[in-house]
Structure formats: structure tokens, C-alpha cells
Structure 1
Amino acid sequence: MIAITNLSYFLGDRALYDSASLHIKPKQKIGLIGLNGTGKSTLLRMINGEFQPDGGSISKSGDCTIGFLNQDLLSYQSDDSILAVAMQAFERQNHLQIQIDKILHDMETDYKDDLVDKLARVQEEFEALDGYTIQSKAEAILEGLGFVTDDLQRPLRLFSGGWRMRVMLAKLLLQKPSLLMLDEPTNHLDLPSIQWVEKYVQNYEGAVIVVSHDRAFLDNTIDVTVEVANGKLNYYAGNYSYYLEEKDQRNEIQRGAYENQQAKIRQTEKFIERFKAKATKSKQVQSRVKALDKLEVVDQVVDENAKVHFRFQFTTQPGRHVFQLEDASKAYGEKVILDGTNVTMERGDKIALIGANGRGKSTVLRVVAGDEPIEGKRRLGHNVMFTFYAQHQLESLNINHNLIEELKYANSTKTETELRTVLGCFLFSGDDVFKKIKVLSGGEKSRVALAKVLLSQANFLLLDEPTNHLDMQSVNILIQALQQYEGSYIVVSHDRYFVENIANKIWYIEDHQIKEYPGTYQEYEVWVEERGLVSATSAKAVVSSAPPQGKSSPQPASNGSAQKTNNSRQISNEDAQKVKKAKKQIEELEMKINNLEIDKKTVETKLAEPSVYNDAKALADLNRSYADLKQKLEKATEAWENAMIEVEELAG
């Protein structure tokens, strides 16, 4: 269908492509991957005819049609309704509809046989092109992409860039080109819409090329992976997971070939150096020099899987409860986000807040941060220090700072060497650390802002779509950093691979309540699927969707205290005093438990040192201290539990 042969393309004196080749076959689903800046989007634009190659050729079959979804479409605006914009895909059908309308109008005053014949011919072609179903097709795709029926007649210009992109995607899908090219299609989609597009691409009859940093989306949609690296297009006959395995094997082979060749080169150079002055060996020396000149050098394997070798620590330990909402409600006019919800977050919780756009996920983060007023109570726990990351906060970076200066501003206690280490974790090396913020790309600014968040000494992080604009390598680095982070966090993200690797609990908003699933995202998906099956087969099961006894998957929790009932008893003054006293005791016990846990950890660290086992007295003292701390911790924990039970009983 499309043949790319010996393609070359230069940016200044840098070869983006150098004699690269690829054949795109009908119905192939290709994932185009590579680090940022390697030229993935440039290749799509060359295939689309927008850019011309500097060498080689891109040839297409005569019947090849191309649809290209790119980020430039974000700026497209129109006063037409989104339904009308999507239906622009049906160019011929729309033209025929105009003709039909005109003929019918003319026939109202001049009923002639030739008009009747013309109408019959036009209607026949219109029907053959499924003209009577195009509106329902457009409506189905728009609603699959997250629009509600009431949105369809609203003008496109009233929607944000992300929603306009969905309309342009709908238009492309309706055109059904023989090659569909999607450049970061999941960037502006929520999770349900991503899953809908996945199914559509899986069943698409034409060929597809996808540029994406969403690993789960690639795994679920493509059957071929093409890696852009070193100016070449490297072909792998499988999805992204297959590519990772196959590339490891290729790298192992290349590493062996490189090491063997280097050993041979060193041996040859040693021979040349040793015998170059001897006339009797000049022929052999010249032969080896020529052999080295002609040698096709095997490239050294570059490890693109950067590892984080830095512990992101904080000095202040929080109490047991990090955050609480009690009977919290939030609405914007008639749009209700939360209605009397209760939620409690414990120390060590690593929570992903997921769901469709419009449910209020970002609003919930702002409520937690205290940036949104609510009805009800919002409480931060003892010693909780939080920081908030969101895309709009990239604007708060000081554009005149270099990277070192910007990180120094976030944490003045770190040395320049330590800050360089952190920047190295986020793929800034060498002189990159002296770049001004104002010259960075969107993705680079995101990495700097995330590094600042992790250096902030906060023990509670709020992260709103932190993987936006990050390539796969950067996402992998963020995953490692969050896995090493010892505090608590709430993350809003639509990246399933990211969520699966960083969250131990899932929050979702349902019926204006924050609800909790106490497990990983993969377990949550299984539970949702099971709940859907139960709901479809039994209306009674909707009331109680918890897994039956004996199931291994955890049940979703209703966060916070139990629902209030009309016959709740009034708390007497005496009981109120007892509650107040118990709550004070709980706070004191939490601080005591926290200090005991720190002391216990210190003793454990000392016990792990080999040198202590050479000193019998020191070892005995440490063991006694450890046993004493353990006993005190158990008693304090038991007292805390009893105090909690007392409060619950008194509060009714």
C-alpha cells in the first residue's frame, strides 16, 4: 500500500532519517515508537505529503486514502454544531442531500417529469451510499467518544481544545480512509473513551499507524511495532510487549557482537603498533590497517531504560490519618460533583482517582488541596505537608532560571551534586542542567515540575495527569520515583499502565460519592467486569455488588463513617466530653506510635549492620531495645484501637 525506500530527512546538519525503509501493508496496525525528538510525527507528515524527504522515496498505491489526526487540529474552530462538523466526513452524501433538497423545493412550484427522474437518480445514489444512516453513524461515534446527546447540536467553538480534538477524530473515523494515522490520540481522552477507541481501532478495516506513549493502548491495538532509532525504522512483528522482549534479545546479540569486535580491534591495533616499524612485517601491518578501515563497526548498545538512583525523602512524618472529608458536598450551580460524601485516607495510601471526564476528579484534587470551598468538613491529618502538581502549574516555573536554580528554589538544602543527580533521573544530563526554563519543550517542563514536586519535602502529593506530555522513558522514571516515595499520594490519570504500577487503592466517583476499591487497578477492572455481568443478569444484584464469600478479590469500600439515619440518637453533653477526651487521646497516641515506629526502624537499621555482631554487649542491648520498643508499640496500638472504638460507640 505504501513503500518507504531509503528515506533521508535532515534538520539542519542532523540526520533525522538516514536510508530508512518500511513497507505498510493493508490492514496492518502499526505502533510507531521512539524517544521524543526522533522524528515520529515528522514521518507521519512526510507520508501525508506535508514535508518532502531530502532523499529516497515514499510511494503510495493509487487507491490509498489517508486520514491524519494531529495536534494542530486542536486550534480548529467553527460555528457549526459538532454533529455537522463530524458529518463533513460524508462529502458526497452531503452534496447529494443539497441536490435532493433543491429538487424538492423546485418541485413545489414546477412539477416536471425530468425533475422526478433526476430526483430518483440522486436518491438512488444517496441510498447506495447509506446516506439515510450517516447521521446515526455520526451520533454513535460522537457519543462513543464521550459526548452526550444534548452536546451534539452545540457549536464546535464552545468546546475546549481537547473536546474539539475528539470531534476531529470522529470525523476521521467516519471517513474510513485506507490508512488512518493517529498522533497521540489518547492525550485528550478519558478512560472510557480510550477503551472505546481501542475497540474501534481493533475492528478497523483499513491500516492504522499510531504514535502513542500509552503502553496499554498500544498493546491492545497494534500487531506491528516500528521503532524510530538512530535514523532507522526498526521492524518488530508484534505489539509493544513483544517489542520489549524481542529488543532485549536483539540487544543481547548486539552487545556480544560489539564486545567481540572491540576485542578484535584492540588485538589488531596492538599488532599494528608493535610491528609498524619492522620492514619485514610491513605487508601484514598494511593489510590489517586496510581491514580496520573497511570494518563495518557494530554500535554499542545504548540502555534507554533509565533507572532512578535517588531516594526522595521527607523529614516530617505524618499521623495515621492523612486526609478526611466529612459529609462533603460540592456543586457548580446545578452541576453536582459531591453530595454528602465521606472519605478517609490513611498514611501509606497510594491512590489513583479514575473515571470519565466531567465526573469531577480534578475538582476533588482541588478540594483536597483546599483550593475549592465545600459544604461539610475537610481535615488534613497531623503533620501532613502536601504539594500539588497540575498542568497549569507549569506556568509557575521561573522562565529565567536554569534547571539547577529552579530545583534549588524547591529545596535549598540539596547540594548542586544532589540536584544534578535528580535532574539526571529525569533525563537532564551534562550542560542540559544550565538550560533556561524558557527554552524547554512542554514535556521537558513537565519533568522539571515533577522533579520539584518530589524534592519539596512534602509527605503527601496531589498529582493531576502527571504523565501528559511525557514519553515512555519519562513515564517509567516517574513510576520508579513514586514506587520509591515513602509518603502518600492521590493521582488522577488515564494511563492504565502507570496507574497499575503506582496505586494500591482505587478511588472513583459514583452517584456523587467518592468510593474506594481496596486493590490494584487490574483487580479493580476484573471487579468492574464481574459487577457489570451481575447487574445485567439480576436487578437485585445491583443493590449488593460485593463479591460473594470466599472470593479472593477485595470488596470495594464505602469511604468514611457509616451513613446517617433519621433515628440517630443525640449525643449527651457527658458523652460529648468523653468523645473530646478520646479524640485528644487518639492524637497523642498517633504521635507516640509514630515516634515509636521511627525508633524501631532506627534499631532495625543498626541490627542490620554486620559490625554489631562482633560486639556481644552491643548486640544484646540492641535486642533488648528492639523487644522493648516492639512491646510499647503493640500496647500503644491497642490503646489507639480502643480509643477509636470508644469514639465510634459514643458517636452512635
Structure 2
Amino acid sequence: MLLSCHNICKSFDGKDILKGVSFHIEANEKAAIVGINGAGKTTLLKIITGQLSPDEGEVVFAKDTSFGYLAQNQNIDSSNTIYDELKLVKKDTIELEERIREAEDKMKVLTGDELTKLMNDYTAMTHHFQLIDGYAWQSEVAGVARGLGFTDEEFGKPISTLSGGQKTRVALGKLLLQKPDLIILDEPTNHLDMNSIQWLETYLLNYKGAVLIVSHDRYFLDKIAGKIVEIDQTKSGIYNGNYSFYATEKEKRRAIAWHAYINQQQEIKHQQDVIDKLKSFNREKSIKRAESREKMLAKIERIEKPTEVDDEMKIKLTPSCVSGNDVLNVEGISKSFDNAHLFENISFEIKRGERVAIIGDNGTGKTTMLKIINGLLPPDAGKITLGVKVHPGYYDQEHHVLHDEKTLFEEISDEYPTLNNTEIRNTLAAFLFTGEDVFKRVGDLSGGEKGRMSLAKLMLSEANLLLLDEPTNHLDITSKEVLESALNGYEGTVLYVSHDRYFINKTATRILDLTSGVLVNYLGNYDYYLEHHDERMAQILSGNQSATATAAASGVLLGGQSASTLGSTTSASASGTIKSNSFQYAGDSADSTDGKADWKAQKAAAAQQKKKEKELKACEEEIAKLEERNEVLNEEMSRPEIATDLAELRKRTDEQEDITAKLEVLYDKWAMLSE
């Protein structure tokens, strides 16, 4: 065992943050800590790393265990370049290599005993150099830098010129190169693009040491974690599996806990009702029986009431009106900033009801493209056309729609003066701003709170085209799930930029991948994208005419090509190839094999879902019927004429036992179906 946390308790200003938190980490284990924002995850990490002291409990590391900790934001103050800063971790290895080279030079001129001694030292140094994999230090440093998204051209960039996110990536690289026994990471994927996250997943999975992560990236947690430590209402729960296992098991445990609690409460109420009835007879024998029951009732070990999930955002996005079928046309747009060329002659279109995700590496221009569509930036070339009755609403990851000097209440009331106080408070409460919170200054909010506030304004806008830039940034898992549900039930159109693969998989009906100077279209969610990505990229990178010819079938939107380049393409259709004088779009064909397979799979899935929903409804009705009968029996057995009639009492008790057995089966079935 590398790390043991036992009975950790911590309070701030009299409010419990952590209470009785216990878990352990084994050698080579990959574990994650999850919980809503404010649950105490970062506080727990600071206690583990010694930055905070617990009020109670203890943190114990195994003897000689080394650990490295990466906080959410790093401010590296250094005059080094990126490469030189990463090299600092290999300082001992580099110095040893220099001593070996010096020894090699000296051996050329020394003789006798001095040469013998030097050769012995040289043998020891080279042996140690091999053990620490010294010959690979340069490729290791370069590989980590590239894996975290730095290009070779950026290796010479001074640290002082980097953004906060880039500095955090450098700090992560230094930590990985240190190779401690236990790596502790707080939100490591926040500043990484998809390729870097995938690289980090592979690195950590193959890491010969233990890893403890705090993250809201559910896809990342599914890949990495073999154990989940949940912090919920100050307490900890342990789940031996990845995130998907945790999500399923948590609901099972919650259902079991509630059923046990409710059943016990019903039994306690029943016993108390019988006691009260016996006492009301005011007879010596009845009072003795009542006292006997009271003693038995007092000995019952009471089940603590399970925590209720009442802190979720309650979002409903309703378009103000229905737009035309053609929502957005992007025709041949290009954009550069000074010498930085982002994209050229990019074209695509969005239809009503689609939920389209734009993905790509950092710096490819995804946010810039969204700003151009929203009219916040002009394109260098090309045209943006909105369809009939299209009203866009924009969610900006930098939250420029908010005003730091205003209170939350003023932010809503100034923008929507027709809303009364109650309506404004209800809106803010839906996004977890209650009581005196509504009078906080926007400038004093955390990143996650600003994200919720921007979503609140977007909800009120009643737009029918949502343009969202990284909408899940700083949201906890619960809030992400609620947003996913809101978008999936939204009757308008959604175009968003995100690197949250789980979110994309749950919400996207189509993906546009901005890569290698082109947009590649995938008619499906993130799983579909992964399945077809390598094949599509091979077609693009092959550089021959056949790649262009197959673009229409494979779903490639090619930037920088004239209409004549794809002369064999067909005329416009809803899901095929669209052709005009100014732009070219080659999407997934509805007549393709993939399209048919997808349609059949979706139809079969819909039928299966409908069947499950029908079974779930029937199960709920049967549970309600049995529970109602159970209440009737409880009421009957509390009557004096029944309570004193052993035959009648036994008859009802037998029926209750039968009901209880049936309910147990139904509860299990309900839990399975509701998943």
C-alpha cells in the first residue's frame, strides 16, 4: 500500500467539508476522486500533499514513497525555454552523462593506477546510466513535450511568453518526467486538446507507478481509473471500477439505500401506531404489551436517511420560434492572424435540429470560426448566411457576455427588464444561485460559476440556434449531465466547440473535424468518429486523385478547392453533396452503406428503447399497486379488532411478506430498466 487516508475530517468556518473520509492507494493503482464542485476534492488533495492539515484523521505514505502533485493552475516563473525547463528534471542524468564524456577524454591520456581507477569509475557510471535509461533522456523529454501539444518549433519559446494553460502543460510535463511512485493530478485535461488527452491516457495507463486524479472528464476517467473515490455530502464512497461502473453502481446503491430506509421507516411507523393504539386502550395488559414493543423499537439500529440529489441544475432550453430547414450556410471562409494561417476556403451547412460538434487540435481556429459565425470577427474571405427566422444565441468560454461590475440579479434584470423579481430569482436558482448569492458581483465568481451564469442568460434568450464555445469547461459531472439532457431535448439547432469527448458522444449528431487544412465530416457521435477517423485521414493524406474522388462518400469537406474539383458530385440533398458557384460540401451520403447501417441500428435501438420504457412503466405501476396494498394492510393491522385477532393478523402478515418478496424482485428489475 502506497498511501492510506484514514478518517480525514476538515471544516472551514464551522462548515464540514470532509468527514470521516477513508481510502487507500496500492502500488501501480490508477484511481480517481470525483464529486460535485465544492465537494472538497481539491481540499483532500492538499491534505494528502501536506499543504493543509486535517482536523482529524491521518495520511500515511509507505516508507520511501515519492509523489508529485500538479495543481489546477501553475504559474512557472522562469527565464528558460520550454525545452530547457523540461530538461531541468533530467539534471542529474545530464550531469552524469557529462562526467562519463569527461572520463572518456581522460582515459586517452592516463596510464597505470590512475587509468585503472578511472576505468572502474567509468564502468560504475555507465552501469548506473543504463539503469536510469540515460541514453533515452533527450527523446523522452521531446516525446513528453510533443505529447502535451508543443510543436518542435515551440521548444525554444521562453516560458515567460506562455499563457496560463501552456505553463500548466509545462508543469505537467516536468511532473511526468520526474516519474514519482505516485502521480497526483488535479484536473490535468483542462488545458489539453483531444490528441494530447489521448496521449496522456496512454502514458498514464502504461506508467509504472500509481496515479490519483481529480477530473470531470468522464471519457478520461473511463480509460484511466480502476477505482473511484466519491466525495458526496462530506463523506467518501469507494467503487472498484471505472467511471461507467461507478455511475451504474452509484444508482444501484442509492436505490437500495432508499428502499431500506423507506421500508424501515414504514416498519417504525407501523410499530409506533400499534404502540399508540395499545396505550389508548388504557388497560394494564395493553400498556405492558405497548412497553414491550417500545423496548424492541428502541433496539432497532436506525438507518440514516440517504442524501437527496437536489443540487442539480434544472435547465430547459426553448426556442422562441421554429426556424427554416436551412439554418446556416458557411461559404468559403478563410482567416489568418498576421503570419498565423488558420484555415482557408472552408464551407459547410447546418440543417434545423442538428447538433454539430466542431473538434480539432488547439490553435486550428475552432473558436475563431465560431466567432466569425456569430459576427464577432470578420472573415478574410467568404460569407456567412443565416436561414429564415434563425435567432442565434452565443455561449462564450471567456464569458464576454457577462459584466464583472454587475450583481447576478442585475445581470439578468438589466438584460430582461420584463422579468419580475420572482422570475429572476427562479432563473438563478435553476443554476444553483440562491439566497444572498444573487447579490454577488459577477467579477467575484469562479470559472464554473461564470459558466452557469452564461448558460442562465442563454436559456432566457430563447434562441433557436445555439453557438456554444466549450460549454462544459469548469462544470462538474452532474452539471454536464443536466446540460446534455437539456441539449438532447432541445428543439432548435446546436453548433458547438468542445474537447469533452463524453459530452460529444452524448449530444452530437454530427462532427466536423478541423484538421490538416480541411473539415472532415462524420455523420455520428464520437464513437462513430473514432471508428472512421483513420480511414478518412488516410484518404486525405494519400495525396492522390482517388482520395478526392472518395471524399463525397467518406464525408470530407475540403477547404481551398474550386467547384470543378469534384465535378462528379451530385446535386444538393439534405445529407449528400451540396454544390454551388461559391462553395463545395461533401457529406456522408444517406445512400451509403454506412448510412443504411446507421439508420437500421438507430431504428433497432429506438425499438429496444421503446420496449424498455414500456416495461419500466409496467414495473412502476406494479410497484405502486403493491405499495398501496401494503399501506392498506398496515392501516388494517393497526385496527384494534384486527390487532387482537391472531388469525386475521397472521393472514395480513403473510400477505405483507408475499408483497415484500415481490417488491424486492420488482425493485431490482426497476433499477436495471431505469439504467
Q: TM-score, normalised by structure 1?
A: 0.77
Matches within 5 A, 1:89-168: 89-97=89-97, 99=99, 113=115, 121-168=124-171
Cα displacement (A) at 1:424:
4.0
Contact map agreement 1:394 1:449 (CA 8 A) in 2: no
Q: What residue is the counterpart of 1:64 in the other structure?
A: 65
Question: SS of 2:8's equivalent?
Answer: strand
Matches of 2:154 and 2:128 in 1, distance apart?
31
Matches of 2:181 and 2:499 in 1, distance apart?
29
Contact map agreement 2:407 2:438 (CA 8 A) in 1: no
Contact map agreement 2:332 2:383 (CA 8 A) in 1: no
Q: 1:459 aligns with which of 455, 464, 472?
A: 464
1:315-362 CA-to-partner distances (Å, cap 9, x unmatched) read 344334333233322112232212222222333332111011111111
Q: 1:530 aligns with which of 522, 527, 535?
A: 535
1:188-216 CA-to-partner distances (Å, cap 9, x unmatched) read 11011111111111111211111111111
Question: SS of 1:228's equivalent?
Answer: strand
Matched to 2:527, the amino acid is Q
From the superposition, tell whether residues 480 and 116 of structure 1 become closer, same or farther in structure 2 (CA, over 3 Å): same
Q: 1:333 aligns with which of 301, 322, 338?
A: 338
Matches of 1:321 and 1:411 in 2, distance apart?
29
Matched to 2:229, the amino acid is V
Matches of 2:566 and 2:557 in 1, distance apart?
21
Cα displacement (A) at 1:523:
1.4
1:50-101 CA-to-partner distances (Å, cap 9, x unmatched) read 22212121111113111111124x2113111212222222343244346557
Contact map agreement 2:360 2:513 (CA 8 A) in 1: yes
Contact map agreement 2:193 2:360 (CA 8 A) in 1: yes
Q: What residue is the counterpart of 1:259 in the other structure?
A: 262
Q: What residue is the counterpart of 2:195 in the other structure?
A: 192
2:23 paired with 1:22: yes
Question: SS of 2:475's equivalent?
Answer: coil
Matches within 5 A, 1:103-502: 113=115, 121-270=124-273, 280=284, 281=287, 285=291, 288=294, 292=298, 295-303=301-309, 306=312, 308=314, 311-381=316-386, 382-393=388-399, 396-402=402-408, 404-429=409-434, 432-433=437-438, 435-502=440-507
Question: SS of 2:357's equivalent?
Answer: strand
Contact map agreement 1:261 1:298 (CA 8 A) in 2: no
Matched to 2:163, the amino acid is S
Q: What residue is the counterpart of 2:580 in the other structure?
A: none
Cα displacement (A) at 1:454:
2.1
Matches of 1:379 and 1:294 in 2, distance apart?
70
Matches of 2:78 and 2:295 in 1, distance apart?
68
Matches of 1:339 and 1:531 in 2, distance apart?
20
Q: What residue is the counterpart of 2:79 in the other structure?
A: 79
Matches of 1:413 and 1:487 in 2, distance apart?
24
1:499-522 CA-to-partner distances (Å, cap 9, x unmatched) read 122222211223433343333222
Matches of 2:461 and 2:100 in 1, distance apart?
66
Matches within 5 A, 1:594-609: none
Matches of 2:391 and 2:170 in 1, distance apart?
41
Question: SS of 1:463's equivalent?
Answer: strand
Matches of 2:565 and 2:488 in 1, distance apart?
44
Contact map agreement 2:395 2:458 (CA 8 A) in 1: yes
Matches of 2:566 and 2:145 in 1, distance apart?
47
Matched to 2:92, the amino acid is R
Cα displacement (A) at 1:137:
0.5
1:384-419 CA-to-partner distances (Å, cap 9, x unmatched) read 3223222222573354323x4433334344455544
1:527-569 CA-to-partner distances (Å, cap 9, x unmatched) read 1133357789997864555598xxxxxx31537998234999x
Contact map agreement 1:401 1:437 (CA 8 A) in 2: yes
Question: SS of 2:18's equivalent?
Answer: strand
1:214-270 CA-to-partner distances (Å, cap 9, x unmatched) read 111111111111111233221111111111111122112111111122123323444
From the superposition, tell whether residues 164 and 545 of structure 1 become closer, same or farther in structure 2 (CA, over 3 Å): farther
Matched to 2:351, the amino acid is E
From the superposition, tell whether residues 316 and 259 of structure 1 become closer, same or farther in structure 2 (CA, over 3 Å): closer
Structure 2 unaligned spans of 5+: 568-675
Matches of 1:5 and 1:511 in 2, distance apart?
51
Moved more, 369-378 or 198-207: 369-378
Matches of 1:435 and 1:264 in 2, distance apart?
46
Matches of 1:283 and 1:95 in 2, distance apart?
86
From the superposition, tell whether residues 61 and 288 of structure 1 become closer, same or farther in structure 2 (CA, over 3 Å): same
Matches of 2:332 and 2:450 in 1, distance apart?
38
Moved more, 239-248 or 121-130: 121-130
Of all paired residues, the percent bearing the same amino acid is 34
Contact map agreement 2:343 2:364 (CA 8 A) in 1: no
Matched to 2:501, the amino acid is R
Moved more, 235-244 or 125-134: 125-134
From the superposition, tell whether residues 287 and 374 of structure 1 become closer, same or farther in structure 2 (CA, over 3 Å): same
Matches of 1:514 and 1:332 in 2, distance apart?
20
Contact map agreement 2:548 2:566 (CA 8 A) in 1: no
Contact map agreement 1:369 1:388 (CA 8 A) in 2: yes
Matches of 2:268 and 2:437 in 1, distance apart?
34
Q: How many residues align?
A: 559
From the superposition, tell whether residues 337 and 531 of structure 1 become closer, same or farther in structure 2 (CA, over 3 Å): same
Contact map agreement 1:326 1:376 (CA 8 A) in 2: no
Matches of 2:317 and 2:514 in 1, distance apart?
30
Matches of 1:221 and 1:567 in 2, distance apart?
43
Matches of 2:283 and 2:234 in 1, distance apart?
44
Q: What residue is the counterpart of 1:635 in the other structure?
A: none
Cα displacement (A) at 1:135:
1.3
Question: SS of 1:75's equivalent?
Answer: coil
Cα displacement (A) at 1:495:
0.4
Question: SS of 1:297's equivalent?
Answer: coil
Matched to 1:254, the amino acid is A
Matched to 2:220, the amino acid is F
Contact map agreement 1:67 1:181 (CA 8 A) in 2: yes
Question: SS of 1:255's equivalent?
Answer: helix
From the superposition, tell whether residues 242 and 110 of structure 1 become closer, same or farther in structure 2 (CA, over 3 Å): same
